[in-house]
Structure 1
Amino acid sequence: MCLLDTGSGKSDSATYYDGDTRKDAAGVVAHVTVPGKGASLLKQKEAVAFPVLQAVGAGAATKRGNINVSVGKALQGVIYDAPASCATLNASYAVACPFGFVVSADSQHIGKAVDALTRALKSGSVSSNDVNRGKAVLKAALLESYATDSSLIKQITLQAIHTKQVHSIDALLAAIDAVTQQDARGSQESWLIKACCNLANVPYASDLA
C-alpha cells in the first residue's frame, strides 16, 4: 500500500509497506489480490507503460471469451477448465502506487493460479501483439474519457492535481503509441498478498516466485 505524508513537502515521497493481509472464511473459493510496485505519475514514460500493461490483462474482449494474452494464458495453463477469473490492476498517483492482479478461483487451484500470474507479470514476457492490444484498449478508454464535457473537466482536473500540468488528447495518444514492448515489463519486486475466504492453498508473500 502507499501512505501519503501529510502537510507540505516533497510530493513524490511515499513509504511502501509489504506483507500479507488474510481473512479466512468458510467456502470453496478464494479471492486474492497481489499488488507490486507501480509507477508514479511524475515518471511519464513508466506512468504510461503500466496502464498499457494493465490493459494487456484486462480480460476477455467478449462475454465469456478467452483471455488470449500472456496473462490469461498463464492462468489457463495451470487451471485448465476450472472456473476462475482474473484481471490486472493499476493505480497511479504522484507517488509510487500499486500494479498487480486480482484473481478468484476455487481453493484447490488458487495457489497455482497466484503463482502462474505472478511469474507472468514478473517475467515481463508480453508479446508485441499483447502490447499493441493494450495500447488499443487504453486509447479507446482515453478517447471515451474525453467524449463529454463533464468527463473532460474531470480529466483536466485530475491531471492538474496529480502532475501540475494538463496534456492534450493528441499528446496522450502519442505517449501511448510510444510505449515499446521493452517498456511494458511490469513490476519486478515487493509483491504482497491480500486474500479472503478459503485460504488453505493461498501462498504467502514470501512464497511468491
Structure 2
Amino acid sequence: MAAAVAAVGGTMLLAGGPSFTNPAPPAASAPTAPAATRLVGIGHAAIAVPEQWARNQLGCGTPQKDTVIIDAGPQDLCLVNRPKGVESVQVRSGKPIGFQTDETFQLDGVRAERQRTTCTGDSPLTVCSGTVYIPSLDVAFQAESSTNADEVHSILARIMIVPDTVGVPVPLFSEANPAARFGEEYADRLTALGLKPSIQARKSPGSIPGTILAVSPSPGTMLTPGATVTVTAAAHP
C-alpha cells in the first residue's frame, strides 16, 4: 500500500471541501499519460486507462471485460459473475456510499483520501477493490480486479490532476425529482467547469420536460477549457 501511495503522491497540501465548481489546481505543468493509455475523468481529475479498455462493458452491472465505468445508466437486475482476470475502474462524482478514509496522501498538490484495498470471495474467484476520493474536486475512482490486489494498486497509481484539460462531468439526478437529470442544472455545472453548454431540445414522449437525453462528447471525455458540450434535453410540450 505504501508503495502505491508513493507512486501517486505529491508534495503540497490544499485545503477545501467538496465542490462542483472543480477549480483548476495550481500545478506547474500537466502530467503526461503513460504510452498506450487514454485519459478519462471529471473536471480536473483523471485516470489513465489502457487504450484497449472498453467503456461500460457490464452485465447486470458487473464488468465482463477490462473496462472503465462512467455514466453507465440503469442496469438490469440479475446475477452475473465477474470473469477471472477482469480489471475495471469506476469514475464518479461524489463520495461513494460506504467510503471510509484509511489514509490521506498528496496527488499532484491536491489532498486525496484512500480506502484500503480489500479482497472478497473464495478461490478461484476473488475480487479486490480499492478507492481514491479527492474531496476538493468531489471525484472518486473505484478500482476492482478479479486478478489480485496488485492490479488495484496499479490502476489507482495512474490517477492524476490535469489543470489544462477538463473532463465532461456526469449529469446528476435531481434531488427535487430523483427520476430525472435536468439540462439547466447540468448546464450550470458545465459552465462552472469552464466548458460551454449548448442545449438542444428534442421531443421525447413520456419524458419529463428538461430531462437530459444525451450528452456529446460523452461524460469522461477530456476537453480543452471553453470547448462546447451539446446537451440534448426533452422538449417542453
- State TM-score, norm by structure 2: 0.24
Higher strand share: 2
Higher helix share: 1
Higher relative contact order, structure no. (Cα contacts within 8 Å, ≥ 6 residues apart)? 1
- State TM-score, norm by structure 1: 0.26
